[in-house]
Amino acid sequence: MPHPLKHALAAALAVTVMLAGGIRADAAPKVAHFTLANGLEVVVIPDHRTPVVTHMVWYRVGAADETPGKTGLAHFLEHLMFKGTEKNPQGLFSQTVSNIGGQENAFTSSDYTGYFQRTAREHLKMLMEFEADRMTGLVLTDDVVKPELQVVLEEQNMRVANNPAARLSEQMEASLFLNHPYRRPIIGWRQEIENLTREDALEFYKRFYTPNNAVLIVAGDVTAEQVKKLAEETYGKVKRVTEIKPRLRPQEPVQVAARTVTFADPRVAQPSVQRYYLVPSYTSAKPGESEALEILAHILGRGSNSRLYDKLVVDKGIAVNAGAGYSGSALDDTRLYISGTPKPGTSLAQLEDAIDAVIAEVAQNGVTADELARAKTRLIADAVYAQDSQGTLARWYGAALTTGGTIEQVQGWPDRLKAVTTEQVRDAARHWLDKRRSVTGYLVKDTQTVEKRP
């Protein structure tokens, strides 16, 4: 279960869907959206191709909402949500899902926490009853909390402690965000995870788990009317536990100094360099800005046609790989990342200089009309391909609605993307890819391998 979306920040676009230019409009699902009296938002995404449903509940709470000193709590609670309620003792929900051939899991990001099941459509009401029950009815004893804490510590070992690249990434996040809680690892700092308690988890649960802080998404072989009726009969009976305050996190100051981080581990057999820039998210950006950043990241670093790959891997032959990406799906300012893996014989400093030259070229001379057109086609096609997967659509809407977005923003994304000009892409590079707003990370075998710059 408990499978934190480690890269939730990197979960690409906030959004999407529906018709790209020239693509059939009738292919778009008719998405319904309504709110129950207790404040629970509901989204229904019909997909009648297979008799299955994807049932998800998303809470507007993530690692960035934790109290300082309690890192890892949002994720730990996500694990503990499988420990039962007064009505449905431990294991009954999971066992029932398994018995009907269903699948389930859960995930935690900096901004949201989600739970989902996929089953044949006739079981939807039962899933809703179980999920509504654990929205406010969780019961925890130390007998189940203590072993689960060990599980989470093993998860931290697996995802981070055993993995040098993940450890560098953790240090870079902490360095990119000087003040915002995005600097904390979603899974938590180990010494703080070790001290999390049953009381911490219950206090956090009571503060954030309430229908007026949740979004229900049902995708699959159902209609909006069916879901509305079932939701009212199940979730509709859950009382508000508390009112939710606006999510005002400490924001970043004006960043004035480029940072560098070096992580050395004898197990690093292939060195690499990474760069994170602090940039606006889909929610924090001015109109058009995040779409320009999305296209900029695509042209710089997605796939074999990208500037970075073409210049560093193909033309100069100094890198094995190079790429970039934009983690636009976030409530507050987020990151655009660039990565490069040098060929033997190329130093990280040489590779970094070459990356900087590619960025400078785009900032100075912009991108071509042809590059822009290809990027738009590719990104808008993602929205069409997403229609093929009820799970993907459910995730896009869920992530948008829990990071400050709206249904309309999701649906208007292809049109907004189409409106981006070459000048906007150039300006995004000029304005946002400023080293003073960045951290550069070096993954090396030992610190000697980072040569000193003259």
Is 94 an interacting residue with respect to another protein (CB under 8 A)? yes
How far is Cα 14 from Cα 5, in angstroms, rounded to an integer? 15
How far is Cα 73 from Cα 108, in angstroms, rounded to an integer? 10
Residues noted as catalytic = 78
Count other C-beta atoms under 10 Å from residue 271's C-beta. 20
Is 178 an interacting residue with respect to another protein (CB under 8 A)? no
Stretch in the footprint of another protein (CB under 8 A) among 23-31, 32-40, 195-203, 351-359: 23-31
Is 103 an interacting residue with respect to another protein (CB under 8 A)? yes
- Determine the size of the site formed for another protein (CB under 8 A): 72
How far is Cα 423 from Cα 451, in angstroms, rounded to an integer? 37
Task: Specify the residue, 33 or 190, whose C-beta has the smaller distance to another protein.
Answer: 190
Q: Which of 80, 268, 279, 354 binds another protein (CB under 8 A)?
A: 268
How far is Cα 307 from Cα 319, in angstroms, rounded to an integer? 13
Stretch in the footprint of another protein (CB under 8 A) among 20-28, 168-176, 236-244, 413-421: 20-28
Give Dmax (Cα) for the chain: 70
Bridging pattern class, strands 438-444 and 259-264: parallel
Is 247 an interacting residue with respect to another protein (CB under 8 A)? no
Is 101 an interacting residue with respect to another protein (CB under 8 A)? yes
Q: Which of 151, 357, 360, 419 binds another protein (CB under 8 A)?
A: 151
Is 149 an interacting residue with respect to another protein (CB under 8 A)? yes
Q: Which of 11, 52, 64, 355 binds another protein (CB under 8 A)?
A: 52
List the one residue out of 113, 117, 73, 124 whose CA is nearest residue 97: 117
Task: Specify the residue, 289 or 291, whose C-beta has the smaller distance to another protein.
Answer: 291
What's at 330, amino acid-wise?
A
Is 85 an interacting residue with respect to another protein (CB under 8 A)? no
Binding mask 286-315 for another protein (x = CB under 8 A): -----------------xxx----x--xx-
> Strand, coil or helix: what is 343?
coil
Per-residue DSSP letter, 82: T
CB of 152 to another protein, least distance (A): 8
Is 452 an interacting residue with respect to another protein (CB under 8 A)? no
Is 139 an interacting residue with respect to another protein (CB under 8 A)? no
Considering only residues 381-410, where is the footprint of another protein by CB under 8 A? Answer: 381, 384-385, 387-391
Give just the sign of the alpha carbon dihedral 91, 92, 94, 96. positive
Considering only residues 106-125, where is the footprint of another protein by CB under 8 A? Answer: 116, 118-120
How many helices (H) and strands (E) would you count in the chain?
15, 11
Task: Specify the residue, 82 or 397, whose C-beta has the smaller distance to another protein.
Answer: 82
Per-residue DSSP letter, 81: T
Stretch in the footprint of another protein (CB under 8 A) among 7-15, 144-152, 287-295, 353-361: 144-152
List the one residue out of 313, 282, 245 whose CA is nearest residue 399: 282
Q: What is the b/e burial string over 25-49, where b = at least 16 CB atoms within 10 angstroms of the residue's CB?
A: eeeebebbbeebebebbbbbbbbee
Q: Which of 171, 175, 321, 409 binds another protein (CB under 8 A)?
A: 321
Is 141 an interacting residue with respect to another protein (CB under 8 A)? no
Whole-angstrom Cα Rg for the chain? 23
List the one residue out of 86, 84, 87 whose CA is nearest residue 95: 84
Considering only residues 363-382, where is the footprint of another protein by CB under 8 A? Answer: 373-374, 377-378, 380-381
Q: Which of 239, 256, 269, 453 binds another protein (CB under 8 A)?
A: 269
Is 23 an interacting residue with respect to another protein (CB under 8 A)? yes
How far is Cα 45 from Cα 217, in angstroms, rounded to an integer? 8
